[in-house]
Amino acid sequence: MMPAAKKPFLQQFYSQTVSTASELRKPIYWIVAAKAIDYEQMLLMMAGVKWDIKEIMSQHNIYVDVLLKEFEQFNKRLSDVSRHVRIPLPVSNVLWEHCIRLANRTLVEGYANVKKCSNEGRALMQLDFQQFLMKLEKLTDLRPIPDKEFVETYIKAYYLTENDMEQFIKNHREYSMKQLANLVNVCLGSHINKRARQKLLAAIDDIDRPKR
């Protein structure tokens, strides 16, 4: 229907605008993912967990089950919507990626809010996260699981010696100052003394200073 003289404009629109629409998926669907799962509820539940335990636990914490229930409901809602409006696989993948990434970031934030934690408590965090991953992988085909290493690395950092911890602080800028400071403070008394604590907190402060 278009006049021949106008066709180049249509081709230009298609090549420059329509083809770049897929790049907008991530920022647009981020807000959907932020509202799809109750991340605040998870943080509140994690705050009620006792982490300075003295024995190895074999049972994961209830917040893991609540979080998985949220993902099951999200999966169901996605299926319900797709019956009325087709959801392309790339869009579905973006939604899953965002939700999982936000959940994993919330887990690390929850662990960074812990005031007291023993070796057994850290082992419980690992148990909780493994349970979450195992059940989550049955709900989605998305691989690898987004930010899986982000959580695992943070939990394992608790066991680092003073020198390794200092190197960890310098190398892992993906964690917030608060998250790094919590690692140092929680380790105080177990395998890091007060002098080492001051040194490590100063190293964190040095990283933060250029941003001010």
Closest among 154, 60, 63, 54 to 112, alpha carbons compared: 154
**In 3D, which of 58, 33, 63, 36 has the Cα closest to residue 48?**
63
Length of the chain in residues, anyone?
212
Name the band, by pLDDT with cuts 50, 70 and 90, for residue 82.
Answer: very high
The pLDDT of residue 212 is: 46
Could you tell me the two tokens for 125? 């965090």
Quick: pLDDT tens for 144-155.
999 999 999 999
Q: What is the pTM of this model?
A: 0.86
**Tokens 């933060």, residue located:** 208
Nearest to 71 by CA among 124, 151, 133: 133
H-type alpha helices, the chain: 7-16, 25-36, 39-47, 62-84, 89-112, 119-139, 148-156, 162-171, 177-187, 194-208
The answer to whether 172 touches 153, Cβ cutoff 8 Å, is: yes
What is the pLDDT, as a whole number, of residue 136?
97
Residue 147 DSSP code: T
d(CA 42, CA 136): 16
- What DSSP character marks residue 145? P
The reported pLDDT for the residue numbered 211 is 54
Choose the weakest-confidence range: 62-76, 139-153, 162-176.
162-176
* Residue 113: pLDDT over 70: yes
Choice between 20 and 62, residue whose per-residue pLDDT is larger: 62
Average pLDDT for the chain: 90
Q: What is the mean pLDDT of residues 35-61?
A: 93
Q: How far apart are CA 63 and CA 202, in angstroms?
A: 34
Say which DSSP state 172 is in.
Answer: -
Tell me the C-alpha distance between 87 and 63, whole Å: 30
How much is the pLDDT for 49?
A: 94
- pLDDT value of residue 187: 76
> What is d(CA 125, CA 120) in angstroms, rounded to the nearest whole number?
9
Mean per-residue pLDDT for 170-188? Answer: 87
Give helix then strand counts, H and E, for the chain: 10, 0
pLDDT of residue 188: 65
- What confidence score (pLDDT) does residue 169 get? 86
